[in-house]
Structure 1
Amino acid sequence: MKAALHNLGCKVNSYETEAMEQMLIAAGYEIVPFCEDEKADVYVINTCSVTNIADRKSRQMLHKAKKQNPNAIVVAAGCYVQARGDELAADDMVDIVIGNNRKNRLVEIINDYIGNNSNNEAVVDIAKTHEYEELNIYDVCEHTRAYIKVQDGCNQFCSYCIIPYTRGRVRSRRPEDVTAEVRRLVEKGYKEFILAGIHLSSYGIDFEAPCDEAVDYRAANMPGSRLLELIEAVCSVEGVKRLRLGSFEPRILTEAFVKRMAELEPVCPHFHISLQSGCDATLKRMNRRYTADEYEESCKLLRKYFPNAAITTDVIVGFPQETDEEFAITKEYLERIHFYEMHVFKYSRRKGTAADRMDGQVPEPVKTARSAGLLELEKRMSREYRESALGSIQEVLFEEVAGTCDDCGTSVITGHTKTYINVHVKLPADMSLEYINKICNVKLEHLSDDGEWVNGTLCG
């Protein structure tokens, strides 16, 4: 039988989709592309529900799958299932619904459906689930880096966010399982790893055993102590050359935490710290549990121990009751922190959240204008960060051949620095493949015309 998978949403979803794909391969399925030219017997759509747009895309992809092959089994999995399970169960275009924390039963559920030929539902009350769903990958689509899911769920209940209702409470993967997966992937040649989670900073708070208090940075009352232990464990695996982290909460970035990370060679100076707003009044309405000053202090600590650290963030514009003055405060704050990259989102109302019930909903045209202003700022700051690296020699992990010029016999290979600057290097075409998945010193020379990457030359 043939199966096609399509992923929507975050890096955690991507990891889970790859794990489900490998489960299907192990069960004897042939994996084919999700496209009109190739019909599958089973379609698995790993859905997202973070915004109304994500909901709509999830529905569209489920319906597209059934239209590509009306006789196929269409499986809806993930967050949209948790949020709108009743609707999907009644949808003629969907045959199977699988919620979060049940994806590891995918093959079993499909087999049961084939045997019973009836709608098969596997959706749990995610708020009452306390066990971590074990999913594993043995290979990944990218040839040089691998995302490793280490945590699920969130206890924060930000006023705009549906995720605690679709992903449930914090559940963490045992560190020995994480390092075992990392070792397997190192043996396959992977050099770079990214620890991913729904709320990574909460990693380990659900573990019963206390931290080792013999070492003061692991004291039980230190925020992020379990996450720091995991970072150390992954860095200690032989063959791990680079480690990146998913989104941080500023509250765990204490001096002890950041200092210890800086002592671990594989940790890349590239950090994503979720912000959402630079205005304290807006942060309070969002139920974010830090102030703008506390966030700024976290950035200063990172730059103290990781000079020229690349710091990225998320920002929401048009949150309920956000005034022009509050937006101006946020914009000035973003420019002062000077991020490498920003992900800018227009506030999206989510039924069931506190923000959905707030007065003072901001009109869509105002959100659009504010978003455009921040995207313009983001483009400028991102270019300035890349410009600041010109003339330096940095290690680049090469990932792929971007193109070949047949007339001149050269190829362009691309990769990233530890600060995640995209670098292009020209090489003789017959040599280009030799450099893929290698880390080399490169002199960063000049920006591309659009400022999106840096051109460089190999050193030595």
Structure 2
Amino acid sequence: MPTVAFHTLGCKVNFYDTEGIWQVFKHRGYEQVPFEEKADVYVVNTCTVTHTGDKKSRQVIRRAVRTNPDAVVVVTGCYAQVAPDEVARIAGVDLVIGNDQKSKIVDHVERVQREQHPYQSVGNIMKADAFEELDVPYFEERSRANLKIQDGCNNFCTFCIIPRARGLIRSRKPENVIAQATKLAQAGYREIVLTGIHTGGYGTDFEGYRLADLLADLERIELPFRIRISSIEASEIDDHVIDVLGRSQKVVNHLHIPLQAGSDAVLRRMHRHYTVAEYAAKLEQLRRALPDLAITSDVIVGFPGETDDDFENTYAFVEEQCFSQIHVFPYSQRRGTAAAKFGDQVAEDVKHGRVTRMIELSERLAEAYASRFVGRHLDVIAESPVISADEETRRAFAAHPEKGRMLVGYAGNYLRVAFRAPEGMPLESLVGELIRVRVAETGSGVQQGHFVEQLTSADDEHHATTASVNGRLTS
């Protein structure tokens, strides 16, 4: 049986695509092996959001070539799309595949093996007009499932290379999204994350069918799972979306709404499609309709021309809006974007100082948001034992006397919560299941709670009612 190994860099969409590519290989008789082992084929799914992504991609490609110089080394993803010739020049690369060719990847591999010479299959992604279907009925070693509902972006923000790497918006047909969601729910996934390059733009290329309509249709699937929207722009949250969210028993009480800057002058230079006042008004409307809604966001600091006053306005706006978490990014020049040619580039030491201040604010806001839930119940999907979780979680509970019996996972409002499993209950029976937890201690990182009850079980797919997995908060 031929073997294939994968390495994925970048976003949730790339990880979804890799799972889909693996299904294509699997159906053609391949066995998957770890990337560090010798394989017949290596697939590197690359990222190009920043120059660091390009650099890491090149390092991984060279690692594959060193591991087995006789293997077919395939490079796909965003770096491969925007710089195919640069990728092809890396010694040992046999095949460069564009972002709209992934479903045909095994055919290309077999051509390389047959003809014994490298080549590229990278076209003009801007001409792609149909969503490329990749079936992903389950995920290797994951307790939550991503579900890709669209690809591409029409916004052309001046700091972003992604439209050149992914093309314009191409939405997945609603019937295919619903069929895939049903498969994932039947496989036992208790949370499905709707993801894409511009998730909130779903349906822009359809006639009269948008994200709110899709959410309403997913609501009708009579299986126990909750829905999370990976990201949505403030300008895409209309009354229809808010109405659907307000009535939903499946969509979690959390939205990620990118801000990027709290200064209208900076937003204009970024080519964002809202003002600070419009963004604030949308958050106010959401919070009236959805009490206790967790809102996370992205902020870029040090964008070209960002003055001290611009940054202070952003800082004050973030503080005023009480986000539950902020992802902070220092602006990085990206070749091929409009902003890379802007004057007034901000000095690195100034950017560093602004990043530090914004991260400190984010931690303070996260702690304040989490503290509101002390003594309340949250429904948590147990993802892993604490002792095998991420470094931050392991460090937080390193001295805890019962860490060996503790699990950690995300609540519907995106708080990360650890709790001790009851005696006699195997940890593996709880992983991937929905557990009601009473919050006891909070901070800016991992919260600590007490097990209350198990809401779903792998032994009984219909054990939980829709209402018990809706991600809403309970007192």
Structure 2 length normalisation: TM-score?
0.89
Return closer, same or farther for 1:151/1:240 CA change in 2, 3 Å cut-off: farther
Q: Distance in 1 between matches of 2:108 and 2:358?
A: 45
Return closer, same or farther for 1:441/1:84 CA change in 2, 3 Å cut-off: same
Query: What secondary structure does 1:430 align onto?
Result: coil
In structure 2, the partner of 1:412 is 406
Q: Distance in 1 between matches of 2:58 and 2:387?
A: 36
Q: Distance in 1 between matches of 2:364 and 2:92?
A: 45
In structure 1, the partner of 2:374 is 390
- The correspondence for 2:260, drawn from 267, 270, 276, is 276
In structure 2, the partner of 1:119 is 118
Q: Using the TM superposition, give the Cα deviation of residue 80 of structure 1 relative to its aligned residue in structure 2, in angstroms.
A: 0.3
Q: Using the TM superposition, give the Cα deviation of residue 410 of structure 1 relative to its aligned residue in structure 2, in angstroms.
A: 5.9
In structure 2, the partner of 1:366 is 350
In structure 2, the partner of 1:160 is 159
Q: Distance in 2 between matches of 1:21 and 1:268?
A: 29
In structure 1, the partner of 2:12 is 11
Q: Using the TM superposition, give the Cα deviation of residue 180 of structure 1 relative to its aligned residue in structure 2, in angstroms.
A: 0.6
Q: Using the TM superposition, give the Cα deviation of residue 142 of structure 1 relative to its aligned residue in structure 2, in angstroms.
A: 4.4
Query: What secondary structure does 2:405 align onto?
Result: strand
In structure 2, the partner of 1:193 is 192
- Counterpart amino acid of 2:451? L
Q: Using the TM superposition, give the Cα deviation of residue 88 of structure 1 relative to its aligned residue in structure 2, in angstroms.
A: 1.4
- Counterpart amino acid of 1:438? E
1:402 aligns with 2:386: yes
In structure 2, the partner of 1:445 is 440
Any conservation in 1 of the 2:158–2:338 contact (CA below 8 Å)?
yes
Q: Distance in 1 between matches of 2:23 and 2:74?
A: 16
5 Å-filtered alignment, 1:41-52, equals 41-52=40-51
Q: Distance in 2 between matches of 1:274 and 1:41?
A: 41
The structure, 1 or 2, with the larger RCO (C-alpha pairs under 8 Å, 6+ apart) is 2
In structure 1, the partner of 2:419 is 425
Deviates more, 1:272-281 or 1:386-395: 386-395
Q: Using the TM superposition, give the Cα deviation of residue 90 of structure 1 relative to its aligned residue in structure 2, in angstroms.
A: 2.4
Q: Using the TM superposition, give the Cα deviation of residue 93 of structure 1 relative to its aligned residue in structure 2, in angstroms.
A: 2.8
Q: Using the TM superposition, give the Cα deviation of residue 367 of structure 1 relative to its aligned residue in structure 2, in angstroms.
A: 1.3
Q: Distance in 2 between matches of 1:339 and 1:56?
A: 32
Any conservation in 2 of the 1:76–1:94 contact (CA below 8 Å)?
yes
5 Å-filtered alignment, 1:140-159, equals 140-159=139-158
Any conservation in 2 of the 1:410–1:428 contact (CA below 8 Å)?
no
Query: What secondary structure does 2:19 align onto?
Result: helix
Q: Using the TM superposition, give the Cα deviation of residue 438 of structure 1 relative to its aligned residue in structure 2, in angstroms.
A: 2.8
Residue-by-residue CA offset, 1:330-376 (whole Å, 9 max, x unaligned)? 11111111111111111111222211111111122211111111111
Query: What secondary structure does 1:248 align onto?
Result: coil
Return closer, same or farther for 1:12/1:410 CA change in 2, 3 Å cut-off: closer
In structure 2, the partner of 1:221 is none
- The correspondence for 1:351, drawn from 305, 322, 335, is 335
In structure 2, the partner of 1:27 is 28
Q: Which runs of 5+ in 1 are unaligned?
A: 212-224
- Counterpart amino acid of 2:413? T
In structure 1, the partner of 2:471 is none
Q: Using the TM superposition, give the Cα deviation of residue 406 of structure 1 relative to its aligned residue in structure 2, in angstroms.
A: 13
Deviates more, 1:225-234 or 1:192-201: 225-234
Any conservation in 2 of the 1:409–1:428 contact (CA below 8 Å)?
no
Q: Distance in 2 between matches of 1:72 and 1:356?
A: 37
Q: Distance in 2 between matches of 1:253 and 1:131?
A: 25
Query: What secondary structure does 1:138 align onto?
Result: coil
Any conservation in 1 of the 2:185–2:225 contact (CA below 8 Å)?
no
**Equivalent pairs, count:** 441
- The correspondence for 1:338, drawn from 300, 322, 332, is 322
| RMSD value, Cα | 1.9
- Counterpart amino acid of 1:422? R
- Counterpart amino acid of 1:442? V
In structure 1, the partner of 2:127 is 128
Q: Using the TM superposition, give the Cα deviation of residue 42 of structure 1 relative to its aligned residue in structure 2, in angstroms.
A: 1.2
Return closer, same or farther for 1:66/1:429 CA change in 2, 3 Å cut-off: farther
Q: Distance in 2 between matches of 1:52 and 1:403?
A: 34
Residue-by-residue CA offset, 1:278-322 (whole Å, 9 max, x unaligned)? 100000000001001111112112211211111111111111111
Deviates more, 1:318-327 or 1:254-263: 254-263
Any conservation in 2 of the 1:143–1:190 contact (CA below 8 Å)?
no
Any conservation in 1 of the 2:138–2:184 contact (CA below 8 Å)?
yes
Any conservation in 1 of the 2:215–2:244 contact (CA below 8 Å)?
no
Residue-by-residue CA offset, 1:99-122 (whole Å, 9 max, x unaligned)? 111011111111111001111211
Q: Distance in 2 between matches of 1:298 and 1:54?
A: 33
Deviates more, 1:347-356 or 1:48-57: 347-356
In structure 2, the partner of 1:434 is 429
Return closer, same or farther for 1:433/1:352 CA change in 2, 3 Å cut-off: closer
- Counterpart amino acid of 1:427? A
Structure 1 length normalisation: TM-score?
0.92
Query: What secondary structure does 1:185 align onto?
Result: helix
Q: Using the TM superposition, give the Cα deviation of residue 447 of structure 1 relative to its aligned residue in structure 2, in angstroms.
A: 2.8
Any conservation in 2 of the 1:409–1:429 contact (CA below 8 Å)?
no
Any conservation in 2 of the 1:410–1:429 contact (CA below 8 Å)?
no
Any conservation in 1 of the 2:422–2:451 contact (CA below 8 Å)?
no
Q: Distance in 1 between matches of 2:20 and 2:182?
A: 17
What percent identity do the matched residue pairs reach? 39
Q: Distance in 2 between matches of 1:262 and 1:179?
A: 21
- Counterpart amino acid of 2:57? S
